[in-house]
Chains A and B, each alone.
Chain A
Amino acid sequence: SQKIEQNSEALNIQEGKTATLTCNYTNYSPAYLQWYRQDPGRGPVFLLLIRENEKEKRKERLKVTFDTTLKQSLFHITASQPADSATYLCARLQSNAGNMLTFGGGTRLMVKP
C-alpha cells in the first residue's frame, strides 16, 4: 500500500526566511496531493492542491512542487511569519475512492521572531 511520509522533527526557522517542508510517497504517484495546515486542537485547513501533471503551484507566499521522479512534494512558505507556526500536513487524495485523504504525519513548523 502507498505511504505518505513527512519529517516528524520540528522545523525551526527565523522570521523572514523561507520554510521548506518535504513530503515523500512510496510506490505509484498520487494523482493529487494536497497540503493542509493544522493548529493545535483544531481541524486541518486546506491550503493547496497539486496534480500529478503539474510541476508547481503557487498561492500568495505558498508554493508547492511535485517531482514524480523523486516521489516527493515540497512545500515552501516564503517570508515566513510567526503566525505561520503550525503543523503542515501532506495528503494523498484518491479521486477514485470517494475522494478520501491519506495523511502524512505532519511537520511542525516554528517561526521565531
Chain B
Amino acid sequence: EPEVTQTPSHQVTQMGQEVILRCVPISNHLYFYWYRQILGQKVEFLVSFYNNEISEKSEIFDDQFSVERPDGSNFTLKIRSTKLEDSAMYFCASIGTSGNYEQYFGPGTRLTVT
C-alpha cells in the first residue's frame, strides 16, 4: 500500500540554525500538508499546498517557515532560524481523490532544537 515517507526521522539542531524537513507524499495525491505536534499537545495545522502554491496557513506559519515542492515528488518544510519552541514532531500529510478527504500522514520527523 502506498505511504507517505519523511526524512529524517529525528533531527537535532542548534537554535538559530536552518533545518529542512523532507516528505515524499503519495504519488497521485494533489493536496499536501504540514502539521506539528509539540510533546503532549494536540496536532496543529501549519500549512496546506495545492497546485504549487500555499492554499492555507496558520498563525504558527510565520516568515520563518517556507514550503516547496521542488521536483514533483518531494515536499519540504524549511525553518530558517530555529527556536527552542520549534521542538516538536512534524508530520507531512496528503489527500487523494477519495470522497472521505482522508489525510494520509507520514511517520513524522522529531525536531529537537537545543
Chain A residues with a Cβ under 8 A of chain B: 32, 34, 38, 41-46, 49, 89, 91, 93-95, 97-106
Contact = CB atoms under 8 A, between A and B. Distances in A.
Q: Is the interface of B mostly helix, strand, loop or mixed?
A: strand
Size class of the contact patch on chain B: 20 to 34
Contacts of A43: 4, 91, 93, 105-108
B103 to A, nearest CB: 6
B56 A100 contact: yes
Nearest to B107: A43
Given A42-B107, A46-B103, A93-B101, A98 B48 contact: yes
**Interface residues of A, dominant DSSP:** strand
A98 B57 CA distance: 9
A52 to B, nearest CB: 13
B106 to A, nearest CB: 6
Contacts of A101: 33, 35, 43, 45, 103
B102 interface: yes
A89 B48 contact: no
A106 B42 CA distance: 7
Nearest to A96: B56
